[in-house]
Structure 1
Amino acid sequence: TNRLGDTLKQYYPQALEWFDHRDTVLFCDFVTRWPTQMHARKARKSVLEAFFKAHNLRSATLIATRIEAIKASKPLTQDVAVITSHRLLALVLVEQIRITLQAIDRFDREIAALAPTLPDYKLFSNLPGAGQALAPRLLAAFGEQRERYATAGELQMYSGIAPVLERSGQKSWVHWRLRCPKFVRQTFVEWAAQTVNKSFWAGAFYQQQRGKGSSHQAALRALAFKWIRILFRCWKDRTPYDESRYLDALKKRSSPLLALLDPEKAELKLAKA
């Protein structure tokens, strides 16, 4: 998609302005059908409307705005050599993206069919923000061998979520772990981001970290670090995560996080515990 974007910027940058995402069938089909600004501008309004509706775009306002932008567009260049060479490359790249999207869809279908058959799937499928995409990834990150990790700290270090503390003489510094399975680390960070607005305490913890001066990514890694400790115990005990029970545990420990929670929502959750 980066190569396609760079190619389109050379002769047809308007296509990048008309669409928010390049890794979609909609974008691929549009560039294939109208590979230059001239082709798009000459297309009839009714044809463009039918195209967008056929790709499940139902917003009349968005369709009208997009068509208006297409009709008002002006060519970046009229150099035939520039347009022809980059048009050919763009079409090749679009076909590569299209095949990749088909492959991803095939993997998604296989994962969706296989994941629910695994014994630990329910431990992860009902987690806040997990969904069909992240639940199987979390399941794969933990695995099925309970003896593999003796403590949550081992998983935190293996996944790369736990930072590294180095010392030399009287100096010490902390940096993130470079040698780790990057996709596993990415899984925990991406899932932590999904829980910020779906878990009461996770949202409060994230805001607490930002209040301390942490960047967005640093706050998410800190949240992922905390989540791993919680999920590790659920995984070890084969007990599904329960938000209300965890809030009750925070209350018993007089956790400062409770002060950051919405009192009414927190009490409602605690009442269910």
Structure 2
Amino acid sequence: MKAFNVSDFAALIGIDWADRKHDICEVDLHIHTQHLSVISSQPNAINAWANALKEKYNGQAVAVACELKKGPLIYALSKFEHIVLFTINPSTVAKYRKAFTHSGAKDDPTDAAIQVEILQLHMSKLNVITPDTEKVRRLTQLVEYRRKLVQDRVNLTNKITTTLKNYYPHVLDWFKEKDTQVFCDFILRWPSLKQVKRARKQTLIDFFNQHNSRYPSVNEKRIEEIKQAEALTTDNAIILPNLLLVECLTAQLKQLMIAIERFDVEIKTLYKNHKDKFIFDSLPGAGPQIAPRLLAAMGSNRERYQPSEEIQKYAGIAPVTERSGKKEWIHWRYSCTKFLRQTFVEWAGQSVRYSFWAKAYYEQQKSKGKPHNTIIRALAFKWIRILFRCWKTRTAYDETTYLAALKSKGSPLLKYAVEGKF
């Protein structure tokens, strides 16, 4: 990634964004003047301001700093070639403000000026927002939104479970998986024990068969339990409000599952047509859900990360070492892209089931008394280095090749595995 200097730009600009307006501090580097202004957050106002900059500085590059990595403002400014976007952590601006303002009071124009000052003094340490290809950016949005929908599904099933326990707990034993079509349709058709006990046996059998639940022994057991079930309560003051809530939540869950399926189709289509698909398909434990997320994490720009340490730190996998006097301590990296960290950690967890050396490493660390989460994070740290190498060289991962490399280096991990200690 190109390193920028202040001399590369005609102007330095800080933007303190808000929902309806943006405060701007603009420093003209040719005549060394500062100008404060406010623009609307409406697209036409942002476009007019950006075009005015291009005309004012004859198409020369201008550096714009903002406390955002994505969002409407970033999306609007990314299309202008004369604007180079730098992102500044909001906590950095807040701490900078407090260091030089005794009151610590926040003021939008002041924050915009602080961003310009940080840009001028520490440009080399700031991240530049460099858009990837349209397909990768689209895939990135899709996998992030899908993960949020999945979490919504978990939250919704938990709410449904809690509500059913209040008046109709039996159904939770009849269906082990709650996020399924058969569960939703069963609840919507028979939302109370009283209603399902009225159903004829053949009606229940037809229902299960229509939902591809064709195990006679399972269905017979369900039907028998339905007929023998006793009500938790007969108090309508309890039953009816909870019944209504369950019907509403279940309808939402059903629509949510349909939405996730739509996202799956879009993600699968984009992923299978990407030229780097073979790399991520080769990764143990990646699978159809995690592989597209890993592709989106790495992107298409091979210059985006140089050493693998950059992505280890950016993803929050690399720990932070702090020192003060004779003391030294290591802790979790708090400032990072949470979804990215989640992606690598989830992949590392799955890899234990599919990779020989990953399983050996997990058992080796476990024998040393390390907790599960610590082991998985350390494993993710190792996997990132391997993935980075494969990504850089456009090479599919091969377990045999990696094991041969471990053997040539005399890895104690391989010795641990060969001795059959796991």
Q: Fold match, TM over 0.5? A: yes
Deviates most, 238-247 or 40-49: 40-49
Match of 2:308 in 1: 152
Report the alpha carbon displacement of residue 247 of structure 1 after superposing the two structures with TM: 0.6
Report the alpha carbon displacement of residue 15 of structure 1 after superposing the two structures with TM: 1.8
Aligned mates of 2:299, 2:252 — CA distance in 1: 33
Aligned residues: 264
TM-score (norm 2): 0.60
* 3-state SS, counterpart of residue 285 of structure 2: coil
Contact 2:282 2:398 in 1 (8 A): no
* 3-state SS, counterpart of residue 354 of structure 2: coil
Contact 2:167 2:238 in 1 (8 A): yes
Pick aligned residue for 1:92 from 248, 254, 263: 248
Match of 1:15 in 2: 171
Query: In angstroms, what is the RMSD of aligned CA positions?
Result: 1.8
Match of 1:75 in 2: 231
Name the one with the larger strand percent: 2
Match of 1:206 in 2: 362
Aligned mates of 2:416, 2:221 — CA distance in 1: 42
Deviates most, 234-243 or 142-151: 142-151
* 3-state SS, counterpart of residue 323 of structure 2: strand
Aligned mates of 1:47, 1:220 — CA distance in 2: 48
Report the alpha carbon displacement of residue 262 of structure 1 after superposing the two structures with TM: 5.6
Aligned mates of 1:171, 1:37 — CA distance in 2: 63
The 3 A distance-change label for structure 1 pair 221 and 62 is: farther
Match of 1:64 in 2: 220
Does residue 1:255 correspond to 2:411, yes or no? yes
The 3 A distance-change label for structure 1 pair 48 and 216 is: farther
* 3-state SS, counterpart of residue 129 of structure 1: coil
TM-score (norm 1): 0.90
Write the deviation string for residues 176-206 of structure 1: whole angstroms up to 9, x where unpaired: 2222222221211221122112111111111
Q: Structure 2 regions of 5+ residues with no counterpart?
A: 1-156
Pick aligned residue for 1:35 from 187, 191, 198: 191
Aligned mates of 1:161, 1:56 — CA distance in 2: 42
* 3-state SS, counterpart of residue 191 of structure 2: coil
* 3-state SS, counterpart of residue 3 of structure 1: helix
Which structure's CA Rg is the greater one? 2
Aligned mates of 1:181, 1:24 — CA distance in 2: 31
Write the deviation string for residues 39-77 of structure 1: whole angstroms up to 9, x where unpaired: 223322222222222222233332233333322222111
Aligned mates of 2:416, 2:185 — CA distance in 1: 47
The 3 A distance-change label for structure 1 pair 2 and 258 is: same
1:144-223 pair list within 5 angstroms: 144-223=300-379
* 3-state SS, counterpart of residue 74 of structure 1: coil
Kindly indicate whether structure 1 or structure 2 has the higher relative contact order, using CA contacts under 8 Å at least 6 residues apart.
Answer: 1
The 3 A distance-change label for structure 1 pair 140 and 59 is: same
Deviates most, 27-36 or 255-264: 255-264
Report the alpha carbon displacement of residue 212 of structure 1 after superposing the two structures with TM: 1.5
Write the deviation string for residues 122-152 of structure 1: whole angstroms up to 9, x where unpaired: 1101222222111101101111111111111
* 3-state SS, counterpart of residue 270 of structure 2: helix
